[in-house]
Amino acid sequence: MLKKNLDQLKLLIVIGILILVGQKVGFMVVDKEFSVAAALPGTILIIVVCLLSLMIKECLPNLKFPAFAWATMIGLILSMPFMPTAKAFLAYTNEVNFLSTTTPILAFAGISVGNKVQELKSMSWKIVLISLLVFTSTFFGSAIIAQIVLKLQGII
């Protein structure tokens, strides 16, 4: 178990480095000032939350709750306004640009899908139909929510 946690920590550290590099490159493109030192504590906090969520999932194998959901719950609890951790947690994690976190996530998602090409081939045309339905419904769902919120705010 300790070896598995160390391997997970090593991978999370690599992901943290990719997040910082992605943020540095992203801010260089738009000519904004970015300090790795300012984003490092937030990145470390994100890594700790992720590692903690993986450990909780491992300790509760009978509970069918994904590690991503545990990470979300931990982050939510740490950032609730009445929690003593909220101010510091939000101050540090706000320095980490959300878009820079998507680069490693999408890379690992691509690797994951690439490892299952044979399974995807066996689904043939069904996967294309399901993908189109999901993309279309997500687009229209987002557009409807945006329309409602913008109308309520009087922007449109």
Residues 42-92: tens digit of each pLDDT: 999 999 999 999 999 999 989 888 888 999 999 999 999 999 999 999 999
How far apart, in whole angstroms, are the C-alpha atoms of residue 1 and residue 99? 32
Same-domain status, 77 and 27: yes
The residue length of the chain stands at 156
Q: What is the pTM of this model?
A: 0.71
Q: Which tokens in the block code for residue 113?
A: 């899908």
Same-domain status, 11 and 32: yes
Same-domain status, 107 and 130: no
- Domain count of the fold of the chain: 2
- Provide the residue range defining the domain that includes 143: 117-156
Same-domain status, 129 and 93: no
Same-domain status, 155 and 103: no
Binned at pLDDT 50, 70 and 90, residue 151 comes out as very high
Give the tens place of pLDDT for each residue, 6-31: 999 998 999 999 888 888 887 776 65
pLDDT at 148: 94
Q: Which tokens in the block code for residue 115?
A: 């490892």
